[in-house]
Structure 1
């Protein structure tokens, strides 16, 4: 009989045993933001590879800055003199340029994208009171403005639906009151011909009023149909917004490719400098 072993960190029990050799093992996992992820070293490596774009860009830029610094220190140490000072200055300049590039990327892409993610999560959670404001005109600014328009459209649509529901509730209460009054009048015994004629006249008026209320209800149903159509348009605009988000993601991938190219070029230059240093060291005194 197989023995049940292993637990999820979220509380779910997992039973598993290797059929061939009968050696049990534990599979440890955890739920993070609605996803089942692995823990341990494998899970850590997976989380590092799938970390946020801002962290990956920052890591690449830090690596490039360290490479420039290493080139400057190596040139100053191995070459010395004016040439070594030139290498050191080039390395320092590279570090400064990379720092400025990281600052620009973080403030132009990283922080606005984080704001957009927070706003999208708030809207997905039902919080339509979040304020999404921007004065930028680039792709990130267009994305934030599209999300703000989506939020405003959702608020307006919910307000229209609520108003129509209140109107329909009032009309329904009026119809119920008229029906109650009609039922009470029909239960009263007729005391004479005049009273019967008067009751029939009142009944006719109530029927006409019910017909009018039915027309009002029909109009309200038509208004509800219009609101549903607007909801469909709002959903279409949400689809366009998601397309804009996808385009922004592709452009960010282009930025990462450019940074990878810079890193590759820096590595080639470091190899060239190392070979030059080796040839210089082999020269006779």
Structure 2
């Protein structure tokens, strides 16, 4: 990642090679061009023979993209973004997006992989079939849940697909890191999944992560020499949080991953584009990526619009997709 700040909206499925997790380093390099299938990679610098990466399993809102209502309403023609979903397979469609979810592929100094997943929403099974197979991900070692809404937790029942198989259930449980507020909701809705561990234990594990809350949704700051902030579900950003992750406060972020629901207007529980752009201007990361979008956003058109926008002299904007 170069010295210019750039922000964008990821395409789903993209694997971003990075060293922003734990104590790895970032090589000063500009992103390579997007390939046809939306796969963007940034060269990472080896840390004790290990190169970690972020895999964006989904960058869409709760209803995902394409929007089913947009396609089935008989009175209106589908929008361009949703229409494209009928003519292109998902792997070739940068506007196809499942629920927001991130997989951290952390490689330690011995070359061993640990797979840490943030959120398992309604589209989790599809994400496993599409992207775990594509990137050859064999399992999930631990899970972090940002909040208790359906787009973050309804895939929990499918976790068995990414656990080791045992007909007698003689396997270690997958650790799940969660807030006390979300734990209370999951105990009510998934009692058969949470009986094996206590909320006190889960909450204590959560305390080891640097996190902040907005409407009971957790955000995360990770990385020592290279810093990444993941803010996937946010309606407001307290001044103390902005300062902690800003260039003027805790030090400039290498990567900011930020919620952006609608292109126009506002929403009571999510940032929309104008708020996200304002947050990027305040925080001033080296690179910012927008996630959680609706079908209002078009990968190619909005890329062009952002690149030619009034703030181009401050930030180079790109709508980026993932594969």
Task: Identify the TM-score tier after normalising by the shorter chain.
Answer: under 0.3
- TM-score normalised by the chain length of structure 1: 0.20
* Bigger fraction of residues in strand: 2
Structure having the larger proportion of residues in helix: 1
Larger relative contact order (CA 8 Å, sep ≥ 6): 2
